[in-house]
Amino acid sequence: MSGVDGGPGAAEDHVVLLDDAGAPLGVAPRATVHTRDTPLHLGFSCYLFRPDGRLLVTRRALSKRTWPGVWTNSFCGHPRRGEPLAQAVLRHGRHELGLDVATDGEPVLPSFRYRAVDAGGIVENEICPVLLASVDRDPAPNPDEVMDWRWVRPGDVEALVDLAPWAVSPWMVEQVPELRAAGWTAPGGAQPGVA
């Protein structure tokens, strides 16, 4: 998943390594972690909704190391050691989308976990809580992170995942059915697929 490249605090840019039970083991520089043998680490995924219930999907920049050019959820990232989840969401939302994303940090899928290998052999291996949040304006994406974006009906995302899972990120392919099974509701009560 994407993270913050360069910029202020880049020397601090690390991921939290986890044991199989999800307990922290330490940290490693983010730039060195995603390889063909990626250790289990902490991430997050966030799905952003407008007040009308539409969901923001983004297309990963072609320069991304993993899954370049695929459509995915609104944004993802990695919390730093000791960083509250809500603060990590705010930091990544600003960096990737130019949006202040406020959340109480309570994931709708708190224990989501996945492992996937991209076409180049790079592995994603994360415990990745999934959050829903609301925004009331369009993003101003960082082109190093996001090459395109759309506001869509969540029901259309569900259909896309069902019909063309190869066209979207593997984490979204696994998350969307779990969100559907949990009866996902956009913050503020808008029902996915209704707006």
- The one-character DSSP state at 189 is S
Task: Single out the catalytic residue among 46, 96, 124, 126.
Answer: 126
76 is catalytic: yes
Task: Indicate the pairing of strand 24-29 with strand 41-42.
Answer: unpaired
- The b-or-e profile of 52-63 (16+ CB within 10 A means b, else e) is ebbbbbbbbbee
- DSSP secondary structure letters along 97-119: HS------S--SBTT-EEEEE-T
Which of 122, 121, 112, 123 minimizes the C-alpha distance to 85?
Answer: 112
CA distances from residue 167 to 72, 157, 185 in whole angstroms, order as listed: 9, 11, 24
**Cα dihedral angle (87, 143, 5, 173), rounded to 10 degrees?**
70
Residue 180: CA atoms inside 13 Å, Cβ hemisphere, count? Answer: 15
Catalytically active residues are 76, 126
